[in-house]
A and B are shown apart, each in its own frame.
Chain A
């Protein structure tokens, strides 16, 4: 260990002296209440859709020209499979929808995406089965939302009819 390293280690405590502003907890407290409600609604929706949608969406709704293929059964390849499928569905939706509708829908998808990133981060730390399930449900929910919107546009409706906003 050289002198600089030793100096820093000997004075480690003094390197932790910066303080966050006082409003930190208050803002966090405010954020936590609605956040929890959103999540619980989200998980309820996901749970209801889980069985009803998985098989149908994943295996029968993929057009034959879809580039998506399952090659392995590892967690990563399942994730990759869904992500490709979501991208594919996204493109399909974009081809049908107008800009304003797309923006609204994609805002929601981005929220789900960031929830997914949080789940994945925790999963990498903890490797818990429940987290993995929640991750899968998150991916399935995004698929479901996209599919519903695409179906509606194909049937001449508009996405303002709010299939998934109705709650």
Chain B
């Protein structure tokens, strides 16, 4: 027997497959906040993230008949959101991965962990270049490994690792700068 992902919304998913609008709405209600945040981290643009959310759900509901439950519904949907976010951002020419993204010297890690706050870190992640922001978000916040990220972004695994390392360095340096300037 094939291993199936455990879904907490099996009943909803089945009903949504049959185009039950109420079930589709319940799925939307359950997943839209997390999916919007994922889209927003990639696009870094609220209006575009909303478009991504709509198109991804539209796409998901249309393809739901083909969803077989091998991955959890959330991770299946998240992949659709991520693919959509990348393709829409590219279409708007807002998004690129620059292999040679560098930024000069950065300071050694300063121990400011006690002083980190979520808003600062969120803002600093938002200010990262597209490739850095996306790789860092996919790895740390969406929980993909570098092999998976290389597949999603169509880049080498080593590029994903390098981008992640540089993204972290840039983020740390940015946060240190903010701390120093109050």
Enumerate chain A interface residues (CB-CB to B < 8 A): 2-9, 11-12, 14-21, 24-25, 27-29, 31-32, 35-36, 39, 117-119, 121-122, 125-126, 128, 130-131
CB distance from B134 to the nearest CB of A (A): 14
Choice from A14, A28, A122, A125 contacting B54 with Cβ under 8 Å: A28
For chain B, which range describes its interface: under 10, 10 to 19, 20 to 34, or 35 or more residues?
A: 35 or more
Inter-chain CA distance A27–B87, complex, in Å, is 21
Number of cross-chain contacts by CB at 8 Å = 103
CB pair A11 B118 closer than 8 Å? yes
Contacts of A125 on B, CB cut-off 8 Å?
Answer: 71, 76, 79-80
Give the most central of B32, B66, B87: most A CB within 10 Å. Answer: B66
Choice from A14, A119, A126 contacting B118 with Cβ under 8 Å: A14
Contact of B95 with A by CB under 8 A: no
CB pair B66 A20 closer than 8 Å? no
CB distance from B133 to the nearest CB of A (A): 12
Please provide the 4 A-B residue pairs with the shortest distance between their CB atoms, ordered closest to farther. Answer: A3-B113, A122-B63, A20-B36, A16-B37
Give the dominant DSSP class at A's interface: helix
Contact of B158 with A by CB under 8 A: no
Give the dominant DSSP class at B's interface: helix
Query: Could you write out 19 A-B pairs with CB less than 8 Å apart?
Result: A2-B109, A3-B116, A4-B113, A4-B171, A5-B168, A7-B116, A9-B140, A15-B118, A21-B50, A24-B32, A24-B50, A32-B21, A36-B62, A118-B59, A121-B59, A121-B84, A122-B80, A125-B79, A126-B70
**Which residues between 2 and 30 of chain B lie within 8 Å of chain A, taking CB atoms?**
19, 21, 24-25, 28-29
**Which residues between 131 and 151 of chain B lie within 8 Å of chain A, taking CB atoms?**
140-141
CB pair A128 B68 closer than 8 Å? yes
Contact of B53 with A by CB under 8 A: yes
CB pair A35 B66 closer than 8 Å? no
CB pair B40 A18 closer than 8 Å? yes
With A12-B141, A20-B32 as contacts: A118 and B53 at CB distance below 8 Å: no
Give the most central of A8, A21, A128: most B CB within 10 Å. Answer: A8
Contact of B83 with A by CB under 8 A: yes
